[in-house]
Chains A and B, each alone.
Chain A
Amino acid sequence: MRDKRSNPFCMIVAVLIMLFLVAPLVVIVIASFTPTALITFPPKGFSLEWYGNIFSKSNNFVSGLLNSLKIGLGATVLDIFIGVTAALSICRYDFKGKNILLNYFTSPMYVPSVCFAFVLLQVYSQVGRVPGWARIFIGHFIIILPYIVRNTVSVLHVFNWTLEDAATSLGANPVQVFFKVTIPLAKPGILAGALLAFLYSFDEVALSSLLSTPRFVTLPIRIMNYMEMSFDPTLAAISTLLILCSLILMLLMEKFVGLDMFMR
C-alpha cells in the first residue's frame, strides 16, 4: 500500500497553483456585474447593464455568435463523416503506410494556423470571389479534423473487432453491424472529438482574423475588434456567458460520455 498522507507543503503549492489558474476568471465574472463604465474590482454596486449591452444590435455580438455557431457546427458535422471514415479505415485494415496516413490526417494540428491562413489567402486570391463564410469555413474544416480523427482512433485502437464477427454470425449484415455495434461503441470517442473540434473552432482567432472579411465575422474576431475600440465591462459580461456555456457543455459531456475520454 502506498502512503496516503500528503506532504503539507505540496498541498499548499497545489492549492496556490489552482487559485492562480482560476482567480482571473473569478475576477472577470464578478467584475461583469459592475455598474461603472470601467472594469473595477471589487465592483461598486450591481448591475446587468453590460449584459444588456451584449444584445444591442449595434454591437453585432449576436450575429458574430450565430456565425461562429454556423461555422463550428457545420465544420464539425462534416468532419465527423470524414474523420470517422478515416479513423475506421486506419484502425480496421492492416496496410502499408497506415501510420503515415494517420499523421497526415492529424498534421493540421502541428502546422501553425497562421501559416495555414497565409496559404489559404493565396489560394483565395487566386480563385477570387470566395464568399466570406466559405473563407473561414474551409480553414476551420481543415484545422479541426485532427481532433475527431485522433479521438476516434483512440477508441478504435482498443476496439474488439471480434464483436463485429459476433454480430455478423448472428445475422447482421454489414450496415447493421456498423450502426448497431461499431458506431455505438465508438460513440464516446467520436463525441469527445466532436466537442473538442467544435470548441476549437468556436474560439479560433489566428486563422479567422486573417481570413475574415468585414461582412462575415465570427464571435472571437468581433470581441477582438470591440476590444480595440473600447474596454468596457461588456467584454467581462460576454466572457462570463461563454464560460457558462463551456461549463454546461462539459457537464453534458461528462453525463453522456464521461470526462475520462478527454484524458487519452
Chain B
Amino acid sequence: MASLELKQLTKKFGDFTAVDSMDLQVADGEMIALLGGSGCGKTTTLRMIAGFTEPFSGSILVDGKDVAGIPAYKRNIGIFFQNYALFPHMTVFENIAFGLKIQKLPKAEIAERVSEMLELVKLYGMEKRYPRELSGGQQQRVALARALVTRPSILLLDEPLSNLDAKLRVEMQVEIKRIQKELNITTIIVTHDHEEAVSLADRVIVMNAGRILQVGTPKEVFDDPNSAFVADFMGFSTFIKGSVKLELPDRLIVECSGHDLSVKRSVRDDLREGDNCILAIRSENIAIVPEDNMENRFVSGSNEIYAQENIVKGRVESITYKGHSTRVEVSGCFEENVYPAPNDYTGPGAGGELRLYFPSDKLCIYKN
C-alpha cells in the first residue's frame, strides 16, 4: 500500500516524446485510470512505473521516495498484463506461487497464501490446471491473483477488460473493484476504452500525445469533458460549429447555421460575444419531439421534458438499429449531421422530417 507521485516525468524515443512532463499524484488506496488512444503515452508511463524502461527526465516517487535506479525486480509492483502473460509451462498453483518461490518463503506459507488468493479470485480447486485449460475469464483471475500474491505496494492493470466478452466484462469489472477495495491497494489502470475507465476508476486521467488533458471523477470526465478532443474520446457523437451571439448571466445564446441554441454556462468557459465555438452533445441526450405535441411537453426515456427552446427541424438520413438503442442520422438541422440515439425509435423512416430537442444543460461548449 503506497502513494505514488510522478514529477515532470518525460520519456523520449529518439526525437519522439512519448510522455511529456507528466505530473500526477495518486493517493494511497486510490484507483485511477490513464485513458487515451494508442500512442498517447499511457503504456510508456506504466512501463516507467514498473521499471521496465528508464525515464528520460523527471522522477517517480513511491511513498515519497524516488525509485530511480531501483531495478524492476526489486520494485514490488504487481502488474496485470493485457494478454495475461501466464507462464504456459506452469500450473495455476505454480503461476501464483512464482513470486513467493522467488522470495524463498517456506512451502507451507506459500501454499497458504496461494490458497488465500485462489479464494479471493474464486478459483478454488483449479490449482492443478494449466493456463491453456482455462477460459479467458479464469486466466484473467489467475493473472490477477499472481499479481497480488506478493502483496505489491502498487497494482498496475493494463487493459484489464479488453479481451473479454460483454457479459464477462461486467462480472470482472465488479470483481476487480471488489478486490481492489478489499485489499485497499493503490491501483493504476491503463486503457483506451472510456467505459472501462469510468466504470473502474475513482479518478480518470485523459491523455493525448504524452500530455494530460483532463483529470476528474468518472462523472466529470464523462458528462463534462474540458475540450472537444476529450469529448470526442469520451464518446460524444454530435459536434456542431457556431458562434456566440449573446452572453447572459447563466447561459449563452449560440448561433449555429441560422438556429439559436441556448447553452448553460460552464465553470471554465471564457467565451465572449462573437467567438467561434463548438457544441458537443451525447447521442442519448438529444430528444425527439413528437409531431402531434404542440406544447412540446413529452416524455423521453425516463425524463419528462418541457421544451421551450433549442428545437430544430431536420430530415432523417438513415436509421441503424443497435439493440438497446437506435442510431438515427439527421441532416438539415445544422451544417453538420446530428446523431440522436433514442431507446425506442418510433419516428419517420429515412427521408421523413422530425424535430429534435437539444437540452441546454447537456450541451458542452468549447472555444474553436
Contacts and interface: CB of A to CB of B under 8 A. Distances in A.
Given A165-B52, A165-B79, A166-B81, A171 B103 contact: yes
A167 interface: yes
Contacts of B78: 169
A193 to B, nearest CB: 18
Contact of B83 (A162, A173, A180): A162
Interface string B61-102: 000000000011111111101010111110000000011001
A169 B98 contact: no
Contact of B150 (A163, A171, A180, A181): A171
18 contacts: A162-B83, A165-B72, A166-B81, A167-B87, A168-B72, A169-B72, A169-B73, A169-B75, A169-B78, A169-B79, A170-B99, A170-B146, A170-B150, A171-B73, A171-B76, A172-B73, A172-B99, A185-B88
A184 interface: yes
Nearest to A171: B102
Given A163-B87, A170-B102, 10 more contacts: A160-B85, A166-B81, A167-B98, A169-B72, A169-B77, A169-B79, A172-B102, A173-B71, A174-B73, A185-B87
Contact of B87 (A166, A168, A171): A166
B52 A176 contact: no
Contacts of B81: 162, 165-166
A166 B146 CA distance: 10
Interface string B47-64: 000101000000000000
Given A169-B50, A170-B146, A173-B73, A163 B99 contact: no
A166 B85 contact: yes
Contacts of B83: 160, 162
Contacts of B87: 163, 166-167, 181, 185
A184 to B, nearest CB: 5
A166 B103 CA distance: 15
B150 A166 contact: no
Contacts of A163: 85, 87
B154 to A, nearest CB: 11
Contacts of A171: 73-74, 76, 99, 102-103, 150
Interface of A: 160, 162-163, 165-174, 176-177, 180-181, 184-185
A165 B78 CA distance: 11
Contacts of A165: 50, 52, 72, 79, 81, 85
Nearest to A169: B79
Contacts, number: 59
Q: Interface SS of chain A: helix, strand, loop or mixed?
A: helix
A176 B71 CA distance: 14
A18 B295 CA distance: 89
Nearest to A172: B102
Lowest 4 CB-CB distances: which A-B pairs, in order?
Answer: A170-B99, A166-B85, A162-B85, A169-B79
Interface string B193-231: 000000000000000000000000000000000000000
Nearest to B52: A165
A169 B77 CA distance: 6
B89 A185 contact: yes
Given A171-B73, A172-B73, A185-B89, A166 B102 contact: no
Nearest to A187: B89
Contacts of B52: 165, 168
B104 to A, nearest CB: 10
A185 B131 CA distance: 14
B171 to A, nearest CB: 24
Contacts of B71: 173
Contacts of A180: 98
B150 A184 contact: no
A188 to B, nearest CB: 10
B2 to A, nearest CB: 15
A166 B79 contact: yes
Contacts of B88: 185
Contacts of B73: 168-169, 171-174, 177
A162 B85 CA distance: 6
Interface string B94-136: 0000110011000000000000000000000000000000000
Contacts of B147: 169
A160 B76 CA distance: 22
B113 to A, nearest CB: 13
B255 to A, nearest CB: 53
A79 B202 CA distance: 55
A170 B98 contact: yes
A185 B102 CA distance: 18
A184 B52 CA distance: 22
| Among A163, A167, A171, A181: residue with most chain B CB under 10 A | A171
A177 B99 CA distance: 11
A171 B103 CA distance: 8
A177 B150 CA distance: 17
Nearest to B143: A166
| Among A162, A166, A168, A185: residue with most chain B CB under 10 A | A166
B89 A184 contact: yes
A25 to B, nearest CB: 37
Contacts of B102: 170-172, 176
Nearest to B89: A184
Contacts of A172: 73, 98-99, 102
A45 B78 CA distance: 73
